[in-house]
Chain A
Amino acid sequence: MRNSRREFIKISALGTTGAIVGSQLLMAKNNKVVPENSKGPWKMPHDLERTPTYCEVCFWKCAGWTYKNDDGKIQKIIGHEDDPNSNGRFCPRGTGGVGMYYDEDRLKNPMIRVNAADGSQTFKEVSWDEAFDYISVKLEKVIEEHGPECIALFTHGSGGNYFGNLLKALGSQNITAPSYAQCRGPREVGFIATFGDGLSSPEPTDIRDTRCMVLIGSHIGENMHNGHVQEMSDAIDKGATIITVDPRFSTAAGKSKFWLPIKPSTDLALLLAWMHVLIYEERYDKKYVEQYTFGFEQLKEHVKHMTPEWAYGITTIKPQVIRETAREMGNASPAVIIHPGRHVTWYGDDTQRLRAVAMLNALLGSWGRRGGFYIPDKAKVPGVPHPPYPKPRRTWRDAMGGKYELADLALANGVCDATVPSATMDCSIKAWIVNGTNLIETLPNRPNTLEAINALDLMVVVDTMPMEITGFADVILPECTYLERYDSLRVTQHREPTIALRMPAMKPKYNTKPAWWMAKNLAERLGKGDYFPFDSIEEELDYQLKKVGTSLEEMQRIGVKKMDRPYDDLYYTDGEEIEFNTNTGKIELYSTSLEEYGFDPMPKFTQHPEPPQGYYRLIYGRAPMHTFSRTANNPNLTDLMDENTVWVNPKVAKEWDLKNGQEIYLQNQDNVTSSFPIKVRITERIRWDSVYMVHGFGHSKKQLSRAFGKGASDTELITNVMMDPIMGGTGMRGNFVTFKYSKA
Chain B
Amino acid sequence: MRYAMAVDTKKCVGCSDCVVACQTENDVPIGYCRDWIVEVTDGTYPQLELEHRSERCNHCENSPCVRCCPTGASHYSDGGIVMVTKNKCIGCGACIASCPYDARYTHPKGYVDKCTFCEHRTKKGQSPACVAVCPTKCMYFGDLDDPNSDVSKVIKKRKYKTLIPEAGTKPQLYFLI
- A226 at interface, CB cutoff 8 A: yes
Q: Give CA–CA (A686, B49) in the complex, Å.
A: 13
> Which residues of B sit under 8 angstroms from A77, Cβ to Cβ?
24
State which of A78, A222, A230 has its C-beta within 8 Å of the C-beta of B137: A230
Stretch of A254-262, A362-370, A443-451, A613-621 lying at the B interface: A254-262
- B69 at interface, CB cutoff 8 A: no
| A-B pairs under 8 A by CB, number | 122
**Chain A, range 215-262, C-beta contacts under 8 Å to B:** 221-222, 224, 226, 229-230, 232-234, 236-237, 249, 251-255, 259, 261
State which of A79, A251, A687 has its C-beta within 8 Å of the C-beta of B45: A687
- B50 at interface, CB cutoff 8 A: yes
* A685:B45 contact, CB within 8 angstroms: yes
- B21 at interface, CB cutoff 8 A: yes
> Which residues of A sit under 8 angstroms from B15, Cβ to Cβ?
91-92, 221, 224, 229, 624-625
Q: Give CA–CA (A70, B46) in the complex, Å.
A: 53
* A91:B41 contact, CB within 8 angstroms: no
> Which residues of B sit under 8 angstroms from A334, Cβ to Cβ?
none
* B24:A95 contact, CB within 8 angstroms: yes
Known A222-B13, A624-B14; contact A636-B50, beta-carbon cutoff 8 A: no
Query: Which residue on chain B has the smallest CB distance to residue A92?
Result: B17
- A728 at interface, CB cutoff 8 A: no
* A230:B48 contact, CB within 8 angstroms: no
Known A76-B24, A89-B134, A685-B41; contact A625-B30, beta-carbon cutoff 8 A: no
Q: Give CA–CA (A243, B132) in the complex, Å.
A: 29
- A530 at interface, CB cutoff 8 A: no
**Chain B, range 120-158, C-beta contacts under 8 Å to A:** 132-138
* B46:A640 contact, CB within 8 angstroms: no
Q: Give CA–CA (A685, B44) in the complex, Å.
A: 8
What's the nearest-Cβ distance from chain B to residue A77, in Å? Answer: 8
- B165 at interface, CB cutoff 8 A: no
* A251:B52 contact, CB within 8 angstroms: yes
What's the nearest-Cβ distance from chain A to residue B90, in Å? Answer: 28
State which of A95, A224, A249, A639 has its C-beta within 8 Å of the C-beta of B133: A95
- A683 at interface, CB cutoff 8 A: yes
**Chain A, range 600-650, C-beta contacts under 8 Å to B:** 624-625, 635-637, 639-641, 649
- A98 at interface, CB cutoff 8 A: yes
Q: Chain A: how many interface residues by the 8 Å CB criterion?
A: 47
> Which residues of B sit under 8 angstroms from A625, Cβ to Cβ?
15-16, 20
What's the nearest-Cβ distance from chain A to residue B29, in Å? Answer: 10
State which of A89, A98, A236, A683 has its C-beta within 8 Å of the C-beta of B24: A98
Q: Give CA–CA (A635, B30) in the complex, Å.
A: 7
- B23 at interface, CB cutoff 8 A: yes
* A229:B136 contact, CB within 8 angstroms: yes
- B159 at interface, CB cutoff 8 A: no
One digit per residue, 1 when the CB lies within 8 angstroms of any chain B CB and 0 when it does not, for chain A 483-513 equals 0000000000000000000000000000000
State which of A76, A89, A232, A254 has its C-beta within 8 Å of the C-beta of B25: A76
What's the nearest-Cβ distance from chain B to residue A200, in Å? Answer: 21
> Which residues of B sit under 8 angstroms from A734, Cβ to Cβ?
none
Q: Give CA–CA (A207, B135) in the complex, Å.
A: 14
Q: Give CA–CA (A481, B15) in the complex, Å.
A: 24
* A91:B135 contact, CB within 8 angstroms: yes
What's the nearest-Cβ distance from chain B to residue A222, in Å? Answer: 7
State which of B14, B17, B25, B46 has its C-beta within 8 Å of the C-beta of A251: B14
- A75 at interface, CB cutoff 8 A: yes
* A683:B52 contact, CB within 8 angstroms: no
* A684:B48 contact, CB within 8 angstroms: yes
* B20:A636 contact, CB within 8 angstroms: yes
> Which residues of A sit under 8 angstroms from B49, Cβ to Cβ?
254
* A96:B41 contact, CB within 8 angstroms: no
Q: Give CA–CA (A259, B24) in the complex, Å.
A: 36
> Which residues of A sit under 8 angstroms from B13, Cβ to Cβ?
221-222, 229, 251-252, 255, 624
> Which residues of A sit under 8 angstroms from B137, Cβ to Cβ?
89, 230, 233-234
Q: Give CA–CA (A684, B49) in the complex, Å.
A: 10
* B133:A89 contact, CB within 8 angstroms: yes
- A90 at interface, CB cutoff 8 A: yes
Query: Which residue on chain A has the smallest CB distance to residue B18?
Result: A92
* B25:A249 contact, CB within 8 angstroms: no
> Which residues of B sit under 8 angstroms from A639, Cβ to Cβ?
20, 23, 30-31
**Chain A, range 685-699, C-beta contacts under 8 Å to B:** 685-688
- B2 at interface, CB cutoff 8 A: no
> Which residues of A sit under 8 angstroms from B19, Cβ to Cβ?
92, 640
Which residue among A90, A635, A649, A684 has the maximum number of chain B CB atoms within 10 Å of its CB? A684
Known A639-B31, A640-B19; contact A685-B48, beta-carbon cutoff 8 A: yes
Query: Which residue on chain A has the smallest CB distance to residue B19?
Result: A640
* A75:B138 contact, CB within 8 angstroms: no
* B45:A259 contact, CB within 8 angstroms: no
Q: Give CA–CA (A95, B41) in the complex, Å.
A: 27
Q: Give CA–CA (A574, B111) in the complex, Å.
A: 65
19 A–B contacts, CB within 8 A, in A order? A76-B24, A78-B133, A79-B133, A89-B17, A89-B133, A91-B15, A92-B15, A95-B17, A95-B133, A221-B14, A224-B15, A232-B136, A249-B45, A254-B52, A255-B10, A624-B16, A640-B20, A684-B41, A685-B48
Which 4 residue pairs across A and B have the least CB separation, nearest first?
A254-B50, A221-B13, A624-B15, A233-B136
Name B residues whose Cβ lies closer than 8 Å to a Cβ of A: 10-11, 13-17, 19-21, 23-25, 30-31, 41, 43-46, 48-52, 132-138
Name A residues whose Cβ lies closer than 8 Å to a Cβ of B: 75-79, 88-92, 95-96, 98, 221-222, 224, 226, 229-230, 232-234, 236-237, 249, 251-255, 259, 261, 624-625, 635-637, 639-641, 649, 683-688
Known A92-B21, A249-B45, A255-B13; 4 more pairs at CB < 8 Å: A89-B134, A92-B15, A636-B23, A684-B41
